[in-house]
Chains A and B, each alone.
Chain A
């Protein structure tokens, strides 16, 4: 009964999404306030129905209702409660519902936090979001109904894939989807702008916080996913350039470009058509990612069970959403005037330069991801494009982005003097070159990649320090507290996010240059040595979990006479699927991780143990964390709230005068 309620509720949500898609749009065109006002309640009602449907599905999983096909395939009575809940989105149908839920959550957020927008504009934004929601809800209902019954019911479920029974699964998909789907708001703002012909600084100011928040979610989602891969896959890899990872990375790259080009559009009125195109493209790449994951046109470790009918449906959706918006762009964008002018050396030009480079990098990742399919479609054979290709292409493209990123904030808007900027930065340039080469020699790993990485990292760190010093110097005389309060949150956001890039580069460079690994055969009592640490294999004991049996090894790690950690890697066999899994144990430290996994037992009783030393690996995620925090600061700038209040007041005044 409950699944049927959920199903019915989803159908009602679809109807409401169509109302939200059509009525406010007509209202905006005919300038009828009553019709425009339908958007908000329709969006909010739709959210309630989708949330109820999601709740019904979750209930079926929690109560192990195996008359529901989805629960029977993805759950088990012995599964821990938390993984019963996360099992809801550990499959194609449920994750689509999560997609729809997060879209309606964003829509409701827009109705609540953007009250001050002019009604016709708001109506168009909601209309666009309504169309997207209608598309995905009908996709869910027609090809991927999560409420499909299984008659007769089975006594026991098949359990969730053990790889997904992990804390990472609790937050990774929701964060990632909030990010993916969040770009739909920037997209809807862009389409509403094209429809209404209104693309001024105010438009950019309205879009900015939404775009930044979506970007923060996507950053967090990718970071958590990468951290999950790091400890779950058992050998410490954290990024594989898998097509599905690329599918989330491409919107991130373009989203990064969008966040910056919106800044220019707001401050200087420039790059307007470019900003609109980026807003359309970032969300289009999110949709493309959805297609790649669910259609089966590419092979990936993450792909869902695929079905060509689903692929066709999403492709049709892609053509409608992206095709119409790009056609609209071709029609309306030429009417946008150029905006403010700026000189060759100006902050505007550094931002545009990095925008172009980020777009080129995105294009290259897209090319590499889809190239095997292009060749196959043309009948020219099958090839693989993997990490070595992407690293060879991506690193040279991103190095100038990082270099330029540091320069940008020192350059004045509109136009600046090259000599002034060079004088300001010359010491940092020299110092980072010296540091890059020097540290590479000091750690005894002098390769092009290491020197480049260390130089760039030093450049970012020194540049950030200099930027902070300059900011303080501007207000000489004032005490520190006043100065700190005087700096807007958006500035801190920029500073932290850029600093995060530097920290990230340190992590990547150090772990790639200096990581060590050895696989050893260990009997109880044996010791092994790696990177100055001693690993003593104490023994192996039984350890059973709720739905798995495990062998748990105990390994004592010491350095000299100092005890460092006791690590307990496991080898698990999940009962329902009879699937073996390794569960690595990690001692996380600020400057190194010690990573241990347990392999098979050999015939002579010894166990295969993998020992890894990973210097600075946590800096990779620390860098991402700083970027995310930077985004939060940027989105929370008081300016947006103040302006919002002022605009709301003005809107009220305008209404009173008409």
Chain B
């Protein structure tokens, strides 16, 4: 058997290896280039009080979560109980970024389902969302004391994601410094 006739088979087997591994991947999940980079600056009105503005600088010195949500977002409802539990456990502040929503509908939604957020800010035109590279709601960012994005969770937060990923990372970031 001459070696050159084995080349097609060898190439095919390599390809199969990749295809098989490819089955375990999600091609639609796009990692954020913001991870380990300073979070984008923003200054937005809070949902509760339109006259009050909050920015990135106000959160400096603490580890916190930024959760992008909207009243029109169906899977936000799915992660909502998880966020409520997270808020009750009072681990770190949870800031809501109310994305492309209207104030009355957002407030109504929080009234109906409960408000897990320390504070929610209003990003009505989605500009800050673009700065954060948001492409689907919900998304959740973990930001450290220096204002650097450390992790991004895409899609609804699950209890497993909180237990296995978010809490260990938060603990690690809180210990540091």
Contacts and interface: CB of A to CB of B under 8 A. Distances in A.
A273 B1 CA distance: 13
A45 B38 CA distance: 68
B74 to A, nearest CB: 15
Contacts of B16: 315, 318-319, 323
Nearest to A284: B12
Contacts of A284: 12
20 contacts: A280-B8, A299-B27, A308-B24, A311-B23, A315-B20, A318-B19, A323-B12, A323-B16, A330-B9, A333-B5, A372-B27, A373-B19, A373-B22, A374-B18, A376-B25, A376-B27, A377-B18, A377-B21, A377-B25, A382-B27
Given A295-B19, A330-B6, A377-B25, 10 more contacts: A284-B12, A297-B23, A299-B27, A308-B23, A318-B16, A323-B12, A323-B13, A330-B9, A374-B18, A377-B22
Given A312-B23, A373-B25, A381 B31 contact: yes
B2 interface: yes
A345 interface: no
B27 A330 contact: no
Give the dominant DSSP class at B's interface: helix
Interface of B: 1-2, 5-6, 8-9, 12-13, 15-16, 18-25, 27-28, 30-31
Give the most central of B1, B2, B22: most A CB within 10 Å: B22
A12 interface: no
Contact of B30 (A277, A297, A333, A382): A382
Interface in A592-638: none
A326 B25 contact: no
B9 A315 contact: no
Q: How large is the interface on A (under 10, 10 to 19, 20 to 34, 35 or more residues)?
A: 20 to 34
Contacts of A374: 18
Interface of A: 273, 277, 280-281, 284, 291, 295-299, 308, 311-312, 315, 318-319, 322-323, 326-327, 329-331, 333-334, 370, 372-374, 376-377, 381-382
B12 A376 contact: no
B153 to A, nearest CB: 16
A315 B20 CA distance: 7
Given A318-B16, A319-B16, A381-B31, A329 B25 contact: no
Nearest to A334: B2
B19 A315 contact: yes
A370 B18 contact: yes
Contacts of A370: 15, 18
Q: Which 10 interchain pairs have the tightest Cβ spacing?
A: A297-B22, A326-B9, A330-B5, A377-B21, A334-B2, A330-B6, A311-B23, A373-B22, A299-B27, A326-B8
A299 B28 contact: yes
Contacts of B28: 299
Contacts of A327: 9
B12 A326 contact: yes
Nearest to B17: A377
Contacts of B31: 381-382
A382 B154 CA distance: 15
Nearest to A326: B9
Nearest to A370: B18
Contacts of B30: 382
A381 B2 CA distance: 38
Contacts of B12: 284, 322-323, 326
Contact of A295 (B1, B8, B21, B23): B23
Nearest to B31: A382
Contacts of B1: 330-331, 334
A334 B7 CA distance: 13
- Most B-side CB within 10 Å, residue of A297, A322, A333, A374: A297
Contacts of B5: 273, 329-331, 333-334
Nearest to A309: B23
Given A315-B20, A334-B1, A373 B27 contact: yes
Specify which of A273, A295, A315, A376 lies most central, judged by the most chain B CB atoms within 10 Å of its CB: A376
B27 A297 contact: yes
Contacts of B2: 334
A502 to B, nearest CB: 33
B8 A315 contact: no
Contacts of A298: 22, 27
